[in-house]
Amino acid sequence: MPSTTPLRSGATLRATARPPSLDELGEIPWLNSLTPAERQRALDALVVNEVQVGELICRIGRPATYWFGLLDGLLKMSNDDSQGAVITFTGVAPGGWFGEGTVLKREAYRYNIQALRRSRVAGLPVDTFHWLLDHSIGFNRFVMNQLNERLGQFIAAREIDRISSPDLRVARNLAALFHPLLSPNVGGVLRITQQELAYLVGLSRQRVNEALTALADKGWIRVEYGGLRVLDLSSLRSGEL
């Protein structure tokens, strides 16, 4: 597992942040749901930061100051290892925005978000998030859909925990990373290594390799240089081996 890099303070985060580029703005799905005035409010507040391997973007017990979205890279959501073994709740793939429940309640995080590789993360300040909730119907719909899909994702995660077949565990976790609404910028190919997938699934890299071979033999995925291409998402979600 990548070593943990301490969470940056809010002041340090703001000091190293920069405005998003035009290309990066095109990678933020909810901007299209805003009116021109709402969009300008968001553009004035959005920032982008580079995070290193192992760096914590969110840490258990720290208050939420931003709503975050992943522009490029790979993240994982997990519990705190102070209570025993680390349990990964889900991975976050490009295009995914996360932590809206915590931001809505203005509370402290109950999970860690850690970078599995060098990543680019966008942040919307909590106050701007709440302003958009108060003024934008389109933004409300996006957040409501996020919460609904997130609930389904975590119900599925509980089901995955009860699956004894490693191949099916890998299949279901891959399906979650290719979720068209929660990870809209992944498309058909996810850039991920077998070791990174092993961290997310909780299996050895060798066992993940065997599972990927089995899934490829069934025609559900294709292993490509530097990543995976999904050929049959519905089978990954619900198929039986």
Q: How far is CA 40 from CA 65, 136, 156, 193, in A?
A: 20, 12, 37, 38
Q: Cβ(221)–Cβ(197) under 8 Å?
A: no
pLDDT of residue 114: 93
The lowest-confidence range among 11-15, 22-26, 78-82 is 11-15
Q: How far is CA 74 from CA 55, 88, 131, in A?
A: 12, 13, 29
Which residues does 81 contact at the CB level (< 8 Å), separation at least 6?
none
pLDDT of residue 239: 65
Distance CA 149, CA 10 (A): 29
For CA atoms 154, 128, 133, 178, give the dihedral sign: negative
- pLDDT at 143 exceeding the cut of 90: yes
Amino acid (one-letter) located at 121: V
Report which of 102, 123, 100, 8 is spatially closest to residue 54, judged by C-alpha positions.
8
Distance CA 133, CA 43 (A): 15
**Considering the entire predicted model, what is its pTM?**
0.86
pLDDT of residue 159: 65
Question: Which option is the CATH number for 10-153: 2.60.120.10, 2.40.30.10, 3.30.70.1060, 3.40.50.300?
Answer: 2.60.120.10
Tell me the average pLDDT of the chain: 88
Tens digit of pLDDT for each residue in 103-114?
Answer: 999 999 999 999
- The domain limits of the chain are 10-153, 164-238
Q: Cβ(66)–Cβ(125) under 8 Å?
A: yes
pLDDT of residue 88: 79
What spatial distance separates the first Cα and last Cα of the chain, rounded to whole Å?
29
- pLDDT at 3 exceeding the cut of 80: no
Tens digit of pLDDT for each residue in 156-196?
Answer: 666 666 666 889 889 988 988 998 888 999 888 899 999 99
Tens digit of pLDDT for each residue in 201-226?
Answer: 888 999 999 999 999 999 999 999 88
- pLDDT at 74 exceeding the cut of 90: yes
- pLDDT at 9 exceeding the cut of 90: no
The lowest-confidence range among 8-12, 30-34, 35-39, 118-122 is 8-12
The whole-number average pLDDT for the span 54-75 is 94
Which residues does 59 contact at the CB level (< 8 Å), separation at least 6?
7, 109, 112
Query: Strands, E, within 86-182: which ranges?
Result: 88-92, 97-98, 112-115, 119-125
* Domain 164-238 -> CATH class: mainly alpha
